[in-house]
Amino acid sequence: MTTYAVTGASGQLGRKIVQSLLDLHISPFDVIALARDTAKVEDLAELGVRTRRADYNEPASLDAALEGVDRLVLVSSSEVGQRAAQHKAVLEAAEKAGVQRIAYTSLLKADSSSLGLAPEHVATEEMLTASSIETTFLRNSWYTENYTAQIPGYVERGAIVGAAGDAQLSTATRGDFADAAAAAITADTVKPVYELAGATYTFAELAAAISAATGKDVVYTNVTVEELAAGMVAAGMDEGTAGFWASIDAGIAAGDLYTDSTDLADLIGRTPTTLEDAVKAAL
């Protein structure tokens, strides 16, 4: 039997990938949930999934965690600035353990994106390509939940403030990305690269969808990137975080988070979650 492991299984995406594997009728015993703190995946253990401690910053833990693993979903680290080194440690342990395939959650159009997040993903993709392991890149776009989680604030203010103009962005729910990862890691054959996104919309259309679902008027207000960052700082956000989020809107305006790729629908075998359904689910 094939043994599957998922890194970052205590996180929002990693946990869903484990569940997606089970939904594909993979035996829980053949699924290993890897987490820095295994106490946070006890609920998965109760389902019969094996759990192992894996800390990106502790190579010895990775060697033990990947023993006997055939296929690995490498969920990108959440520690921006440390990702490339952490992913390298996982790759080295995977090579020693004889892992046969790695599916890595990268960034949409990573090799051409202007987003500040892209270089670490590109560095990881290059390391994986140069390795002895078969790899596939799951280039995930933005989570729809990045916006639907903010619906209460949008409704309270009656506005979504951004700096993307009328540019389109393509997003998908964590559940859809998780299903894609499970499909890719279990398939007999896969493509080297998948550009993954579902619903495509503008911020004005997002505002309209929220208005329709809540019965409250929400409009999109466009500002400059500098004004957006300054507004976030005024609201209590530190300058670094504000600059990061404002730069995302600049990337959206440049088309970095838009794609007409059907890879997500092709992988999961269904239509990805619509914006309207994601908004309703959030409410």
Chain segment 161-183, per-residue pLDDT in tens: 999 999 999 999 999 999 999 99
Instruction: Answer yes or no: do 117 and 214 share one domain.
Output: no
Is the residue at 158 inside a domain? yes
- Boundary of a domain, candidates 139, 157, 188: 139
Secondary structure of residue 223 in the 3-state scheme: coil
| Domain coverage including residue 10 | 4-139
Residue 24 is predicted with a pLDDT of 98
Instruction: Answer yes or no: do 154 and 88 share one domain.
Output: no
Is the residue at 185 inside a domain? no
Counting the structural domains of the chain, the total is: 2
Q: What is the CATH number of the domain that holds 55?
A: 3.40.50.720
Of residues 233, 170, 175, the one with CA closest to residue 14: 175
Instruction: Answer yes or no: do 75 and 19 share one domain.
Output: yes
Instruction: Answer yes or no: do 160 and 274 share one domain.
Output: yes
* Ramachandran class of 123: left when φ > 0, alpha when ψ lies in -120 to 50, beta otherwise: alpha
Residue 244 is predicted with a pLDDT of 87
Instruction: Answer yes or no: do 30 and 81 share one domain.
Output: yes
Alpha-carbon span 267 to 118, nearest angstrom = 23
Residue 78 is predicted with a pLDDT of 87
Is the residue at 130 inside a domain? yes
Instruction: Answer yes or no: do 49 and 38 share one domain.
Output: yes
Residues of the chain with pLDDT under 70: none
Is the residue at 221 inside a domain? yes
Q: What is the pTM of this model?
A: 0.96
Which letter does DSSP use for residue 166 in this model? T
Instruction: Answer yes or no: do 154 and 283 share one domain.
Output: yes
Q: Rg of the chain's alpha carbons, rounded to an integer?
A: 19
- Boundary of a domain, candidates 118, 139, 160: 139
Alpha-helical runs (H) found in 131-262: 145-148, 151-157, 174-186, 203-214, 225-234, 239-253
Q: Are 29 and 211 in contact (CB under 8 A)?
A: no
Instruction: Answer yes or no: do 152 and 67 share one domain.
Output: no
Q: What is the CATH number of the domain that holds 233?
A: 3.90.25.10
